[in-house]
């Protein structure tokens, strides 16, 4: 049995992910989906189990914060933020999570803790990855990491983009125009305008939220 594992798409379902998931029996999405369209497209490939991430707002209220699955005798616990794992994960063979955007495979107290990484919108120079979990029987399974080589506009974003977004928000709150912000922070007016637009049109959005919206 083959299970596709993705996380942190943030509204972007890449062609490489769709192609890489062809033929799987089930798909697990570990949250921060951002758009229901992503799940609709994944459902065309195989049945999907998805949990709600911190970036999944009103549209995703029907999604659970955690899920417990079982395949061929292997219990799999799925949650977006591993910091919120509850006692209900104690009997699981595998714990799947997301949130950090970093691929990770670790064993703790007899359990496999696995993060497929981010396969959607991501920060500059961040790896884009997902995975295939192959289950052959009880306690007999393995993970295959899939890396997507990405060349795009995100590579043109400054490496200190998080700090730039934070400073832009503060200057915008003081009434500075995007032209003034661009001059002060020594960034392009286009980038300053994008950040300001996302900040004002998405009340309460944090730095990560803005970055995901201005990245490819």
What is the per-residue pLDDT across 35-57, written as a single tens digit (0 to 9) for each? 999 999 999 999 999 999 998 98
pLDDT for 159: 73
Q: Residue 132, CB half-sphere, CA atoms under 13 Å: how many?
A: 16
pLDDT for 160: 82
pLDDT for 151: 56
Provide the residue-wise pLDDT of the chain in tens; the chain has 216 residues. 999 999 999 999 999 999 999 999 999 999 999 999 999 999 999 999 999 999 898 999 999 999 999 999 999 999 999 998 877 787 899 999 999 998 999 998 889 999 999 998 876 677 899 999 999 999 999 999 999 886 544 446 777 888 899 999 999 999 999 999 999 999 988 889 889 988 888 877 778 778 777 765
d(CA 180, CA 173): 13
pLDDT for 91: 87
111-115 and 140-148 strand pairing? unpaired
pLDDT for 213: 73
Helix axes 161-173, 207-214, angle to 10 degrees: 110
Please spell the DSSP secondary structure of 146-167, one letter per residue: EEE---SGGGGS-TTHHHHHHH
Domains in the chain with CATH codes: 2-148 (3.60.21.10), 153-214 (1.10.10)
pLDDT for 154: 46
What tokens does 207 get? 């730095």
| C-alpha pair distances (Å), 196 with each of 97, 161, 213 | 31, 14, 12
pLDDT for 153: 44
What is the per-residue pLDDT across 98-118, written as a single tens digit (0 to 9) for each? 999 989 999 988 899 999 999
CB distance 121 to 216 below 8 Å: yes
């Amino acid at each position: 049995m083959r299970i596709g594992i993705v996380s942190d798409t943030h509204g972007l379902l890449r062609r490489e992910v769709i192609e890489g998931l062809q033929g799987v029996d089930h798909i697990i999405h570990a949250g921060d989906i951002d758009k229901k369209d992503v799940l609709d497209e994944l459902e065309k490939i195989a049945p999907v189990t998805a949990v709600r991430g911190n970036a999944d707002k009103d549209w995703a209220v029907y999604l659970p914060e955690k899920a417990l699955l079982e395949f061929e005798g292997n219990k799999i616990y799925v949650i977006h933020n591993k910091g919120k794992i509850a006692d209900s994960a104690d009997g699981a063979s595998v714990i799947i999570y997301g949130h950090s955007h970093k691929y990770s495979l670790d064993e703790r107290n007899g359990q496999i803790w696995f993060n497929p990484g981010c396969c959607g919108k991501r920060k500059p120079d961040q790896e884009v990855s997902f995975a295939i979990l192959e289950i052959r029987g009880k306690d007999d399974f393995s993970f295959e990491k899939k890396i997507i080589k990405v060349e795009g506009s995100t590579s043109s974003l400054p490496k200190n983009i998080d700090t730039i977004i934070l400073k832009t928000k503060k200057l915008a709150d003081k009434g500075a125009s995007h032209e003034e912000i661009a001059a002060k922070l020594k960034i392009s007016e286009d980038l300053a305008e994008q950040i300001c637009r996302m900040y004002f049109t998405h009340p309460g959005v944090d730095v990560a939220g803005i970055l995901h919206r201005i990245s490819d």
